[in-house]
Amino acid sequence: MPANMENKHFHAEVSFGQSLEGLIKSSANYKEARSQLDDMKRFWKEPPRDKVCVLYGLRRTGKTTLLLQMAEELRHKDAKDGSNEFARTAYVLCKPRMTLEDVREDFKALKQCGFKTVLFDEATLPRGFIQDAAFLAVIYARIGMRISMAGTDSLKFLTASKQSLYDRCEMLHTSHIPYREWSRITGLHGPDSVDVYADYGGTVLYGGAGRMEFGPGGPEGKESHGTPRRSSRQKHRTHIGRARLGFSSDRPAGSPKSRRSEG
């Protein structure tokens, strides 16, 4: 355990050590990592002294999973060379109604406890993020803390990059998942998988148990034919998702003959 943790109070949910290992296991349902993980590793190998890494995009496009997979990379690195980096890594989940002053206090406490790597999730929730987000780069990244942020409010990230962060951030967009990459990370292949990809708008939709919601036969079972079990709300989203990807909605969802609309 990092030093002086017993007496520290955090406004956000902070996970490290065994609790962080538990979160990492929850991301193990992905067959492989998204391509942005390679970009993160390049950034973290020799991070600029005053830059933070930003993951932004729609929900269910792998932002939180990428943060946890980066933590797993550090754990493997520790096992390989004994660098002890994972022990100094914290996953910070911002809570609703937090202010940026709360974030400042949490990062100050993390620094005092000796954390060198911070994975900051839902970073755009605090009030005042756009105006004052630069302190993460100017103060903490500059003294050697490696910070990766993720959030679903892309507009806040983009506005902050123009108004406060400027060139102090490395922006990685996650929203667009090409079919080949989607198939690789979910392990779904074949004609029916194209319809699954289209029905969910090119996102990786997981159920409450951290798995894709398939029918009784599973992804390759005879009953499901590779098509997820969809609620009525999800069915209403089907046409939106298919339109977003440019698929024709003339045929019912799940039809293996669905093709991209022409013209």
Distances (CA, A) of 131 to 108, 124, 147: 19, 11, 18
What does the pLDDT look like over 140-189, one tens digit per residue?
A: 999 999 999 999 899 999 999 999 999 999 999 998 888 998 888 888 88
**pLDDT of 221 strictly over 60:** no
What's the chain's Rg over C-alpha atoms?
Answer: 20
Report the relative pairing of strands 89-93 and 117-121 from DSSP bridges. parallel
pLDDT over 70 (residue 259): no
Nearest-5° Cα angle at 38, 157 to 126: 25
Sequence spans of domains, the chain: 13-173, 179-245
Q: What is d(CA 101, CA 63) in angstroms, rounded to the nearest whole number?
A: 24
Per the listing, tokens 């029905």 go with 199
State the Cα–Cα distance between residues 196 and 254, nearest whole angstrom. 7
- Looking at per-residue pLDDT, the higher value among 237 and 30 belongs to 30
The CATH number assigned to the domain with range 13-173 reads 3.40.50.300
Q: What is the pLDDT of residue 29?
A: 66
Between the CA of residue 208 and those of 160, 212, 213, what are the distances in Å? 32, 9, 9
Report yes or no: 251 and 258 within 8 Å, Cβ to Cβ. yes
pLDDT attached to residue 12? 96
Q: How confident is the model at residue 255 (pLDDT cuts 50, 70, 90)?
A: very low
Residue 99 carries which DSSP code?
A: B
- pTM of this prediction? 0.76
Q: How many CA atoms, within 13 angstroms, populate the side-chain half-sphere of residue 114? A: 10
* pLDDT tens-digit map of 50-100: 899 999 998 888 899 999 999 999 998 888 887 889 999 999 999 999 999
